[in-house]
Structure 1
Amino acid sequence: MAAPPTERSFDVIVVGAGIMGSCAAHAAAAWGASVLLLERFDLLHQRGSSHGESRTTRPIYTRPQYPPMVRLAHRLWDDAQRDAGYAVLTPTPHFNLGPRDDPAFLAAVANGSAIELAPSSADAPAWAEAFRVPQGWAVARSELGLGLGGVIKATKAVAMFQALAAKMGAVVRDRAEVVDVARKQGEGGTIVVKTSSGEEFHGGKCIITVGAWATKLLKSVTGTDLPVQSVHTLVCYWKVKPGREHELTAEAGFPTFGSYGDHGFYGTPSMEYPGLIKISKSGGPPCDPDGRDWAIGTGAGGMAELVARWIDEVMPGHVDTTGGPVLCQPCMCCMTPDQDFVLDFLNGKEFGRDVVVGAGFSGHGFKMGPAVGKILAEMALDGESGTAAEAGVELSHFRIGRFEGNPKGNAKSF
């Protein structure tokens, strides 16, 4: 058991209280460490990537590195919900569709152990009638999807992990912008974390999970050029056509879904707002997290219009695009060039293996928050992650060094 912390001294300081940082703080506190979790803005703010009503979870992935992490995360979601006494994840089927010869679609189906599904066949589920599959396209549902698909209440989930961390003794502070992370020479060489208000905190270890602000903070602290680009994306809610409202709900068994092709689209069952369904487009234009245009994508030719065209082609009998989406909510994704995460030590003579970075979750990391948080906590406290090894998660795939001399990192054609 760790020694009791002083007011300014902790075993682990976690910088950034989105889903990854909150999960890391919870995991470190569960380990028995004294933990400080610092958030730049108000807790549960809407300026980053971890807020909102919903995130999808799915086992179907184009790359084989992720299904093991999804499986690990689901075990940890279950554990956290049990400890909290309430649910943040609603299980659903998961459904994918795309051009029959699209390499990414084929890779996702293979990695997800999916089976092809003919919407018009006798054994097709009732919800398959909601989709009009374009000529030359295929559809698939993962056999694992019935256990690993679902919708996560995003803000509620972040709050759950913060509450669990605090229950285990973690100190949670918001409105504490970290401006420097350094090693103090002498006196044990602790990590010193400084805030914009002049406060200093000392930690044996530090975990940095600041989302869209990772590039700026790491550049300021170490001169490291982390290739993470923030993009502005738009979450759209559309009106379900009269008489179809119940058919598209989670209670009726309607799935989360994703579409491959020239653009990536995704959706969830009608849950958050009765009579509305979330259908959105992946990605968006680059943005500065400190100077965003919150209205990007809502006008003519924007992201919402692309989503409307997809709906009119694929779900015309069930979703109404007249007048555009009923609600639009801005969000950010923090993209790496290869769309893989960064989970690594901030190496170098100054920090050694005492500072760990989690960044670049590229619009698909939320579902794996509990797994990422536990991995980062173990890396910080033990120098390695036994949980990752046991789950079959190969951490070398997520190293910062993959970009050295290779700006595209792990990117390759399927």
Structure 2
Amino acid sequence: MEYSGEEFDVIVVGAGIMGSSTAYHLAKRGQKTLLLEQFDFLHHLGSSHGESRTIRATYPEDYYHPIVTESAQLWEKAQREIGYRVYFKSQHLDMGPSDNKSLQSMIASCLKNSVPHRVLDSRQVSDEFSGRVVIPENWVGVVSELGGVIKPTKAVSMFQTLALRNGAVLRDRMEVKTILRENNVKKGNGGVRVVTTNGEKFWSKKCVITAGAWVGKLVKTVIGLELPTQPLETSVCYWRIKDGNGTNGNGTNGNANGVDYGVGGDFPTFASYGDLYVYGTPSLEYPGLIKIAMHGGYPCDPDKRPWGPGMPLDALKEWIEKRFVGRVDSNGPVATQLCMYTMTPDEDFVIDFLGGEFGKDVVVAGGFSGHGFKMGPAVGRILTDLVLSGEAGVELKYFKISRFKENPKGNLKEFEDQVCIDPK
């Protein structure tokens, strides 16, 4: 097929949360933007689908604080523009052994960044949440106000719709084969040519790669660089709230005794540190069910997914029985969904210029390691600024590709890894 002649200011490759948010920000700034997706829009093959993600401001790493807080504001701004909600606010509860290094680092980061929080002992946690969650005496709980549930598929659709409203062009079933440096003869300047597997060719001044679990494969094809990103297949589990302890499905009390695990009450999103890293959300997407899952998964090739068998659940069942004191059925999940993480060795993002012959004309973002979705709006803003001006507005040294040349494990940390890889 001959060169199509379609020209853009910026082409974004990959229409998950990061790419869709980037297309939105670019289009709002008047950039002629093309968003390409290799599968159908809103597909369930990657990392940006499903019914819920958590948002929290409590991180052991200081450098996530400005990105999370900016994202919280941008989530609200975008949903005001679209006219419906994708972000449902709640408190957030972190818990774990009082001597856990990750938890200690998180509390220190909260103090350093003036994140409002309260550190509670086991009795105070039980009182705070009316006995709905209980922790051992040697644990502490950390309650913070910036928490909540984000609806991922709905949120990606929101940004795609807003990008369209602002003039962006969206095309799915467009798998990118390669990206080439090219001079535009008509305009006499440089640019990039994006070639798809079905023979389509597009020219742009700049390009942003947000290809999720496929980012490593595409970057290697384009420039020969081995990004240390490993896709993981992870499972998300929903557990039945026992009769008399649930909600009526709309975030209000659905039982006589006042126990409520639903969004809209005072039950938080939560994360548990320790040998088992567990996270979850209040009941929202499925009335009578609560999302509780382990942070981890099995290494895989995104083009050859195993589609199971899911994480071993014995330790999680025990955690549920003890933390929720028999109010959630711990015999087994009633629904399970599969998703993908794209891990880096240090669990930090990759946000950088591709470099080489492309210089600063191509920006790559990936390796969001199972905790990036909440920061999608701010990452989109950052990528937009990088590709348009070369500046990000926040410190990105911890996300540079070069960190893996200095140390194959990336950023050095004084606390434990949080994601369990290849669990036994």
Fold similarity call, TM over 0.5: yes
Match of 1:384 in 2: 391
Separation in structure 1 between the aligned mates of residue 315 and residue 304 of structure 2, nearest angstrom: 25
Match of 1:289 in 2: 302
Q: How does 1:96-175 map to 2 (within 5 A)?
A: 96-112=94-110, 113=115, 114-121=117-124, 124-125=127-128, 127-142=129-144, 145=145, 148-175=146-173
Q: Which of 85, 92, 104 is the matching residue for 1:87? A: 85
Separation in structure 1 between the aligned mates of residue 157 and residue 284 of structure 2, nearest angstrom: 20
The structural deviation recorded for 1:80 is 0.4
Match of 2:346 in 1: 338
Match of 1:3 in 2: none
Separation in structure 2 between the aligned mates of residue 240 and residue 345 of structure 1, nearest angstrom: 47
Superposition CA RMSD, Å:
1.5
Q: For the Cα contact (< 8 Å) 2:125–2:135, is it kept in 1? A: no
- Secondary structure of the equivalent of 2:348? coil
Match of 2:413 in 1: 412
The structural deviation recorded for 1:399 is 0.6
Q: How does 1:311-330 map to 2 (within 5 A)?
A: 311-322=320-331, 324-330=332-338
Separation in structure 2 between the aligned mates of residue 274 and residue 241 of structure 1, nearest angstrom: 12
Separation in structure 2 between the aligned mates of residue 121 and residue 160 of structure 1, nearest angstrom: 39
Q: How does 1:30-41 map to 2 (within 5 A)?
A: 30-41=28-39
**TM-score when normalising by structure 2:** 0.90
1:307-347 deviations in Å (ceiling 9; x for gaps): 2121122113221012x100000001011111111110001
Instruction: Tell me the amino acid that sits aligned with residue 370 of structure 1.
Output: P
Separation in structure 2 between the aligned mates of residue 88 and residue 74 of structure 1, nearest angstrom: 12
The structural deviation recorded for 1:185 is 3.5
Match of 2:278 in 1: 265
Q: For the Cα contact (< 8 Å) 1:93–1:255, is it kept in 2? A: yes
Given the superposition, is the C-alpha separation of residues 104 and 194 from structure 1 closer, same or farther in structure 2, using an over 3 Å criterion? same
Separation in structure 2 between the aligned mates of residue 175 and residue 48 of structure 1, nearest angstrom: 14
Match of 1:372 in 2: 379
Separation in structure 2 between the aligned mates of residue 27 and residue 291 of structure 1, nearest angstrom: 33
Separation in structure 1 between the aligned mates of residue 312 and residue 27 of structure 2, nearest angstrom: 41
Match of 1:70 in 2: 68
Q: Which moves more between the two structures, 208-217 or 102-111?
A: 102-111
- Secondary structure of the equivalent of 1:201? strand
- Secondary structure of the equivalent of 1:329? strand
Q: When the two structures are aligned, how many residues end up with a matched partner?
A: 392
Separation in structure 2 between the aligned mates of residue 128 and residue 284 of structure 1, nearest angstrom: 33
Separation in structure 2 between the aligned mates of residue 52 and residue 305 of structure 1, nearest angstrom: 24
Separation in structure 2 between the aligned mates of residue 260 and residue 9 of structure 1, nearest angstrom: 49
Unaligned ranges ≥5, structure 1: 1-5
Instruction: Tell me the amino acid that sits aligned with residue 132 of structure 1.
Output: V
The structural deviation recorded for 1:186 is 5.3
Separation in structure 1 between the aligned mates of residue 127 and residue 162 of structure 2, nearest angstrom: 41
1:39-62 deviations in Å (ceiling 9; x for gaps): 000000000000000000001001
Separation in structure 1 between the aligned mates of residue 183 and residue 54 of structure 2, nearest angstrom: 45
The structural deviation recorded for 1:14 is 0.1
The structural deviation recorded for 1:119 is 4.9
Match of 1:201 in 2: 202
- Secondary structure of the equivalent of 1:48? coil
Unaligned ranges ≥5, structure 2: 248-259, 416-424
Q: Percent identity?
A: 51
